[in-house]
Chains A and B, each alone.
Chain A
Amino acid sequence: MATKGERILEVRDLVKHFPLTQGIMFKKQIGAIKAVDGVSFDLNRGETLGVVGESGCGKSTLAKVLMALERPTSGSVQINGRDIAKAKGAELKRMRRNIQMVMQDPYTSLNPRMTVGDIVGEPYDIHTEVAPKGDRARKVQELLEVVGLNPDHINRYPHQFSGGQRQRIGIARGLALQPEIIVCDEPVSALDVSIQAQVINLLERLQNEFNLAYIFIAHDLSVVRHISDRVAVMYLGKVVEIGKDVDIYDKPAHPYAQALLSAVPVPDPEGREQRERIILQGDPPSPANPPSGCRFRTRCWKAQEICATEEPLLQIRPGTTHESACHFAETHDVVHVN
């Protein structure tokens, strides 16, 4: 197995626009939802990149494009140096073995008419070369054991399992083809608090065991901090700040990242009166018609003229330790009470 730290995924200037059309017979395009609009990042082997942002910021579309479930409008997604966004046919199929997904809702992402064995073994029906037919049941049982389920339950149906166990089934399915990258789209948000911890611990154990790289998409910033090595903050289709978890959480530089972090309730009532709270007004603007210049300027308390005219680039700003896309970036700890 290759060593940890080697680059495995390279995303460059990724754009995904969904066309808005008008008319029935003669459809004409009248605009586009700019769901992902120029996103670049790298992911190393054995590393976890957390992606956070409000609903509608494009994080799930990003996951779909990475998985080649949606073709990007432009940009590239290089896995081990090959572009999955341009791959076709047999090559695409082969590349998909290397990147798998764990979905949010374990109640709807498992087919209720299939047994656990069929669900976890289905990847082998598609990629027949991975496991010979006679060997499949044994492989599936191994997988169930790896994710902490009873291998004897191979013939049970999803409804016979609890939410946490179903999520384990989804994870086993994701592991079946021995991928190097797993995209987790809100993997614990549908689970009860006491079950969340079990699944998070499982994901961490699997990462160490198989040297997996995770793209971990979630809206719960506490969970993301716990599991991630690096974190990207998205707003309206763009990454506004990216860096090591300690940089993002203890020294956020972009006003949006600061607002987002300050809104997370801390489970400790001590000092709750002193805690700094930045309450953003209103809702994010529509991705069909994002503001000019900096997209956050309509809700930003630091906005000046330059923000409307010039789009801030994602780069390391003076006085900060990591990349942020704000003309007036300034680190400011909002999470801790001193």
Chain B
Amino acid sequence: MRKTSLDTLPAEGGLGNEPLLAVDNLHVEFATRAGLVRAVNGVSYSLNPGETVAVLGESGSGKSVTAQAIMGILDMPPARIPQGEVRFRGTDLLKLSEEARTQVRGQRIAMIFQDALSALNPVFTVGWQISEMFRVHRGMSKRDGMKKAVELMDKVRIPAAKQRINDYPHQFSGGMRQRIMIAMSIALDPEVLIADEPTTALDVTVQAQIMELLAELQRESNMGMILITHDLGVVADVADKIAVMYGGRIVENASVHDIYKSPAHPYTKGLLESIPRVDLKGQELYAIKGLPPNLLDMPTGCAFHPRCPYRQDNCVTDVPPLHEISGTRNSACHYWREVLDGDQR
């Protein structure tokens, strides 16, 4: 018989130097009418307790699909995971039964979505939706669940939580709705929090409030956080490590300081040069020419080669491996040395 309880997962620590969460050579593909879409092609990254890993990429780079695979919320089919592992404290989540995954989801690994208005159910009160976590996972009564919901709303600093517990999502502002989402995600003290573009729909002032709240909650509970975003500014503010994704692959990963000081992949370098900055008045912006790749018709060799100023003949034919630059840095570019030195172009 298959073991389905949470006990199959070690509660603390893990195995020696095994990280809290490790994504290892993950592949995700979608069978569509137009053909097979390889959204994620061999992505690996790891996360330790208390650490923030930013996954940076444009739309279609596979950053959200990777997160959905970790959470186990991909629709399968059409999605398929032909290869790869997602190890949480040493256990491969992809091999667990559905019941066991349900135990992990929400309790051990939780997620915040971009658009809080569509992620919340419009016909239930926010109190009901937050307390659902306790009723379903902890078997609490309605009353106790509601009590916990008020505590959580206080914790994420929603003013007058007690009076607002019976309000519906549409009665809250965008920032407050995102706080409700955060309250739901931290309800069961997860060890990993995946935040998928948590502030993209919000104003900068509200974004600052939300990021501060997340940092505070993370400090309190020593959660590991995966921050999925396209905003290079937010990443520079909060991340410890960065994985840059392009065309379903990680093209560069490094510590936050290394990557902003000296990017080792032409795509990262181009991105950093193409954003206007609030503290500098620049000249003409550098624009990466061309368009992000079409996933149905990926370029041969390196997916970035049609847009790359460093391109040589072998970029068109050979897929670059993830070269190790130092113990903590990798770049998937044949010419990472030239990029790092800032030669050419």
List A residues at the B interface (Cβ < 8 Å): 54-55, 162, 164, 192-198, 200-201, 204, 219, 221-223, 225-227, 245-246, 249, 259-270, 272, 277, 279-283, 335-336
Q: Total A-B residue pairs with C-beta atoms closer than 8 Å?
A: 135
Contact A201 B233 (CB under 8 A): no
Contact A54 B203 (CB under 8 A): yes
> Number of B residues whose C-beta is below 8 Å from A?
48
Contact B236 A194 (CB under 8 A): no
Contact A272 B237 (CB under 8 A): yes
One of B175, B204, B260, B272 near A270 (C-beta < 8 A): B260
Q: Tell me if B2 counts as interface (CB < 8 A to partner A).
A: no
Taken together as a complex, chains A and B put the C-alpha atoms of A223 and B212 apart, in Å, by: 23
Instruction: Show 22 residue pairs from A and B whose CB-CB distance is below 8 angstroms, ordered by the A residue.
Output: A55-B203, A192-B230, A194-B274, A196-B274, A198-B289, A200-B276, A200-B285, A226-B276, A227-B276, A261-B278, A263-B207, A264-B204, A264-B233, A265-B236, A266-B236, A266-B237, A267-B232, A268-B236, A268-B277, A272-B236, A280-B205, A336-B279
* Interchain nearest-CB distance for A245 vs B (Å): 7
Q: Tell me if B340 counts as interface (CB < 8 A to partner A).
A: no
Taken together as a complex, chains A and B put the C-alpha atoms of A269 and B257 apart, in Å, by: 6
> What residues of chain B lie closer than 8 Å to A192, measured between beta carbons?
58-59, 230, 292
> What residues of chain B lie closer than 8 Å to A272, measured between beta carbons?
236-237
> What residues of chain B lie closer than 8 Å to A196, measured between beta carbons?
274-275
> What residues of chain B lie closer than 8 Å to A204, measured between beta carbons?
284
* Interchain nearest-CB distance for A259 vs B (Å): 6
One of A200, A246, A260, A267 near B204 (C-beta < 8 A): A260
> What residues of chain B lie closer than 8 Å to A269, measured between beta carbons?
236-237, 239, 256-257, 260
Contact B260 A268 (CB under 8 A): yes
Contact B233 A222 (CB under 8 A): yes
> What residues of chain B lie closer than 8 Å to A164, measured between beta carbons?
291
Taken together as a complex, chains A and B put the C-alpha atoms of A195 and B292 apart, in Å, by: 9
Q: Tell me if B167 counts as interface (CB < 8 A to partner A).
A: no
- When A and B form their complex, which 7 residue pairs have the shortest distance between CB atoms, in order from nearest? A265-B233, A226-B276, A197-B274, A263-B208, A197-B287, A267-B232, A197-B285
Residue of B nearest to A299 (CB): B205
> What residues of chain A lie closer than 8 Å to B278, measured between beta carbons?
221-222, 225, 249, 261, 264, 266, 335
> What residues of chain A lie closer than 8 Å to B207, measured between beta carbons?
263, 265
Within 8 A of A (CB), among B200-238: 203-209, 211-212, 230-237
Taken together as a complex, chains A and B put the C-alpha atoms of A282 and B211 apart, in Å, by: 14
Taken together as a complex, chains A and B put the C-alpha atoms of A198 and B292 apart, in Å, by: 13
Q: Tell me if B176 counts as interface (CB < 8 A to partner A).
A: yes
One of B159, B270, B276 near A194 (C-beta < 8 A): B270
